[in-house]
Amino acid sequence: MCRYNFKRRILYLLVGILVFLIFFTIGTSVTFDKSTSQLLKEQFENKIKNIDSIGIFVNNFLISILMFVPGIGIAFGLFSGFSTGNIFMIITRDLPIQIPPLLVFLTIFGMMELVSYGIAISRSYLLLINIVKKTNIKENLIYTGIEIGVVAVILFFSAIIEWDLIKQSGGFDFAE
């Protein structure tokens, strides 16, 4: 096995986080007509109607698992960032005060999710490169398994924190 290059891995992680944030920001800039916005908002509310910390974890973990798929995971991660930005703007658009979109990532659970998605997106890239080059595939699969475990732990604790904050704030009560 080759020596794990931790500094390079951190660089790839930061790039993964950055591209997710870029697509999230792009997603927040897309506007929908009133009926489309209402339909998307209702679909989102139905999806989270009976959710709890385990539901939040499962949702976020399944999303992250798809982001680990070589190559395709990058595209899925970017789509996830974009669509998350869309939903964020739809939900917050009619609030009495405007919330800066990136503010959500300054919460502890937002940072934890961002790191998790950055790990997954960047590992997707690393897997793709190593598959194309036909090098270190077995070693990368070991690292991928470890990183999936790390992401699972991060997202588990993130879901507990997020759910606790949701309960403390009175639950899901979106502006009508």
The pTM assigned to this predicted structure is 0.90
Mean pLDDT of the 64-90 span: 96
What would the two tokens of residue 92 be?
């917050």
Q: What is the pLDDT of residues 13-52, one digit of tens each?
A: 999 999 999 999 999 999 889 899 899 988 988 888 888 9
Return the structure tokens found at 159.
């879901």
| Residue type (1 letter), 96 | P
Instruction: Tell me the domain boundaries of the chain.
Output: 7-167
Q: What confidence tier does 171 reach under pLDDT thresholds 50, 70, 90?
A: low
Looking at residue 115, its pLDDT comes to 98
The pLDDT value given to residue 2 = 56
Q: What is the pLDDT of residue 20?
A: 98
List CB contacts of 36: < 8 A, sequence separation 6 or more: none
Alpha-carbon span 6 to 171, nearest angstrom: 40
To the nearest 10°, the Cα dihedral for 106, 108, 114, 115?
130
Task: Please tell me the distance from the alpha carbon of residue 99 to that of residue 109, in angstroms, as a whole number.
Answer: 17
Question: What pLDDT is attached to residue 92?
Answer: 86
Give me the mean pLDDT over the 62-74 stretch: 97
- Per-residue pLDDT reduced to its tens digit, 79-98: 999 999 999 999 888 788 88
Q: pLDDT tens-digit profile of 43-63?
A: 988 888 888 999 999 999 999
pLDDT tens-digit profile of 113-167?
A: 999 999 999 999 999 999 999 888 888 899 999 999 999 999 999 999 999 988 8
Q: What is the pLDDT of residue 172?
A: 56
Grade residue 3 by pLDDT with cuts at 50, 70 and 90: low
